[in-house]
């Protein structure tokens, strides 16, 4: 990868993060259902199409770290010592996240606001259930491989 390619990727990630940050602020302040993608685009100073290039669904703007959570789980199982019980792997993962004060293991006022916003939106609640089901499928696949 050239420096230019690296710069391009960093700029894309910065744009993605800026859009996500703006969206999250608006969603928490006004409620998910009261914010349009057009408003997010305007506040982030990008086009509506740019928003959808990074986030295919409005709900993905709110749950922007969903893929990261799935990758963390997969990595924990891929890197676990041979013969380690799956439950121990999960326990160690949770402890590691807590020890590092990872956002997935924090319980703060911001966390409470995040989940309150989810609870107040039928669309976000539905997406959260979809994500939970996808994570369960991922975990079942990983556990099936661990039992072999």
Count CB neighbours of 146 within 10 A: 14
Mean pLDDT of the chain: 90
**53-63: average pLDDT:** 94
For the chain, domains (ranges, CATH) are 3-58 (1.10.10.60), 66-147 (no CATH)
Whether pLDDT at 40 is above 70: yes
User: Cα separations (Å) of 100 from 4, 97, 103, 104, 108?
Assistant: 32, 5, 9, 10, 15
**130-148: average pLDDT:** 82
Short-list 116, 99, 100, 111, CA closest to 30: 116
- Predicted confidence at residue 147, as pLDDT, reads 63
pLDDT class of 5 with cuts at 50, 70, 90: confident
Whether pLDDT at 2 is above 80: no
| Rg (the chain; Cα; Å) | 18
**115-131: average pLDDT:** 93
Angstrom distance (rounded) from CA 43 to CA 29: 14
CA 39, 40, 43, 46 dihedral sign is: negative
- Predicted confidence at residue 125, as pLDDT, reads 96
Angstrom distance (rounded) from CA 40 to CA 126: 21
The percentage of the chain sitting over the pLDDT mark of 70, rounded to a whole number, equals: 96
């Amino acid at each position: 990868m050239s420096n230019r390619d690296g710069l391009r990727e960093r700029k894309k990630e910065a744009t993605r993060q800026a859009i996500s940050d703006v969206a999250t602020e608006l969603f928490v302040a006004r409620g998910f259902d009261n914010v349009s993608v057009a408003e997010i685009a305007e506040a982030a100073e990008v086009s509506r199409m740019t928003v959808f290039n990074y986030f295919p669904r409005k709900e993905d703007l709110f749950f922007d770290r969903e893929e990261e959570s799935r990758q963390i789980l997969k990595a924990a199982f891929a890197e676990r010592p041979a013969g380690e019980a799956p439950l121990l792997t999960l326990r160690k993962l949770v402890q590691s996240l807590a020890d590092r004060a990872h956002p997935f293991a924090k319980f703060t006022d911001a966390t409470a606001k995040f989940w309150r916003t989810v609870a107040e939106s039928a669309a976000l609640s539905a997406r959260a259930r979809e994500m939970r089901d996808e994570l369960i499928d991922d975990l079942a696949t990983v556990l099936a491989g661990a039992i072999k």
